[in-house]
Amino acid sequence: MGRLLAAALLAFAVALPAAAQTKPDPQNTIYLDTTYGRVVIQLRPDLAPQHVERIKTLVREGYYNNVPFHRVIDGFMAQTGDGQYGNGTGGSKYPNLPAEFSSVPFSRGVVGMARSSSPNSANSQFFIMFGETPSLNGQYTVVGQVVSGMEFVDKVKKGSSSNNGSVSNPDRIVKMQVAADVKPGAK
């Protein structure tokens, strides 16, 4: 019994510094509010600094508020971020971004930047993965990870498989905020 306790204490002591390093950074945490609840996204400036900066700029401008989840494919992903037209054909007033591909795999909860066939065409649209999709690995820019609220993403209205996931009367982002900008006690 003494060895078991010692092993448990050692494991705890080793895990403690790792847990301290993963403390959320409010400057790189996004609150994406849906009608179902809040989705918290930890951005990854270490992987895609230009894309993360673009998302934070657009969030702070209110660009994503009331923007639809225009393309949602069950088991694959939910796409949003077209604050220009709302149908997946638009972008922001800023120029497209050069690709910042990484080796991080596209698995459940990963947030990636949508783009056209050109690798350097990401602008404002992003998607949240429902499941693992290895074919996207190294082909799209990973910008973050859902750290809580994935159950709310799961509830977003799905699109028609016959129409490439296009959603009629889609759910919308209620509001997006950078965590560092939210005053204590405010939502």
For 100-138, write each residue's pLDDT tens digit: 999 999 999 999 999 999 999 999 999 999 999 999 999
In the predicted structure, residue 5 carries a pLDDT above the cut 90: no
For 137-183, write each residue's pLDDT tens digit: 999 999 999 999 999 999 999 998 888 999 999 999 999 999 999 98
Q: Quick one: pLDDT at residue 184?
A: 83
Q: Which residues of 116-149 are buried (b: 16+ CB within 10 A; e: fewer)?
A: eeeeeebbbbbbbbbeebeebbeebbbbbbbeeb
Q: Which has the higher per-residue pLDDT, 184 or 53? A: 53
CATH T-level topology, domain 25-181: Cyclophilin (2.40.100)
Count of C-beta atoms within a 10 Å radius of residue 61? 12
CA distances in angstroms from 121 to 96, 118, 128, 156, 162, listed in the order given: 5, 6, 18, 26, 26
Q: Could you tell me the strand order of the sheet in which 71-73 lies?
A: 71-73, 77-80, 126-129, 110-113, 142-148, 38-43, 29-33, 175-178
**Is the Cα torsion angle 97, 102, 107, 108 positive or negative in sign?**
negative
> What is the C-alpha R_g of the chain?
18
For 26-46, write each residue's pLDDT tens digit: 999 999 999 999 999 999 999
pLDDT band at 22 (very low <50, low <70, confident <90, very high): low
pLDDT band at 187 (very low <50, low <70, confident <90, very high): low
CA distances in angstroms from 99 to 50, 107, 123, listed in the order given: 9, 19, 10
Domain range list for the chain: 25-181
Residue with tokens 């900066």: 53
- CA 183 vs. chain centroid, Å, equals 22
Mean pLDDT for the chain overall: 91
DSSP letter at 172 equals B
- CA 96 vs. chain centroid, Å, equals 18
